[in-house]
Amino acid sequence: MKLPIFIADAFTAKAFRGNPAAVCLLENKLDEDMHQKVAREMNLSETAFIRKLHPTDNFTQSKYAYLFVCLLVFGSLWHTEFPGQAVVAAYAIENVNSTLTFVTLSGELKARRAEDGIILDLPLYPAQPQDFPEVEDLIKTAIGDTLVQDVRYSPDTQKLLVRLSDIYDRSFLENLRVNTQNLLQVDNTGKVKGLILTLKGEPGGQTPAFDFYSRYFAPWVGVAEDPVTGIFIYFFCRFRAAPAAYVSSKARGQIKAVAAGHSHSSTGSELRL
């Protein structure tokens, strides 16, 4: 069996930046075991499998396709319902349509080409204020005595968002040593599966185009730190009503997100290798 497989760096326009994902084009449905073997062989955080919706479709011109994403966690493979990275990578492969709709585990996800990248229409999830004492041990384990300005929690995505004090700058966040090794011991309830550290942008600073910066950690699912993640924008646009752009993990990738009703649009570039 021959399967065309590509690797695309999502959320960047430069080689060896962003977050790489594998994309496999399927003529026919694969069994679960084969999905697992291919994804394990690629050994990337996400492997996307694209299958034609109808037998007469083709990968270059069809406007609809099935998208099945395998997430590599602790050496084990899972199916993710939040495939933002994989959708950006999948859209970049072969297809010439300006808009492409993927049928996924979380419903239909639309991707469309824009002048500055690929736009995804994704759902919004509520983020509620979180009492600091309830998560104080977790936060202090991760970042010590670093000052915190706000804490939010998304029950739908099980992500904890920690906004650092405005006294800090981008350089501080990029160089902050985050202790992820002990987080599993501090919180093993299953409530939190991801920690987002975010910081307000610097209008007059070195990168005035960015409204905020962020880093993402998920040791609960085997990811010490994700190079560039789009998962937090599923609920971050509710936290910030205004359009926002962010740079993640030492400038490895960029995403723009704009809230629109009960959904939001995010823009990420892609580089196909």
Domain limits, the chain: 5-121, 128-268
CB atoms within 10 A of CB 53: 14
Candidates 207, 249, 254, 259; CA nearest to 11 is 254
pLDDT digits (tens, 9 = 90+) for 1-60: 788 899 888 777 777 777 788 888 888 888 888 888 888 888 887 888 888 888 788 877
Contact 44, 36 (CB under 8 A): no
Q: 237: which DSSP letter?
A: H
State the pLDDT at residue 234. 53
Task: Please give the CATH superfamily to which domain 5-121 belongs.
Answer: Diaminopimelate Epimerase; Chain A, domain 1 (3.10.310.10)
Contact 66, 51 (CB under 8 A): yes
Is 117's pLDDT higher than 50? yes
CA atoms of 64 and 101, how far apart (whole Å) = 5
The answer to whether domain 5-121 and domain 128-268 are alike in fold is: yes
Give the residue numbers annotated as catalytic, written as ranges. 46
State the pLDDT at residue 87. 77
Q: What is the mean pLDDT of the chain?
A: 77
CB atoms within 10 A of CB 98: 10
Higher-pLDDT residue of 85, 144 = 144
Task: Domain 128-268: give its CATH code.
Answer: 3.10.310.10
pLDDT digits (tens, 9 = 90+) for 183-205: 999 988 889 989 999 888 776 65
State the pLDDT at residue 195. 93
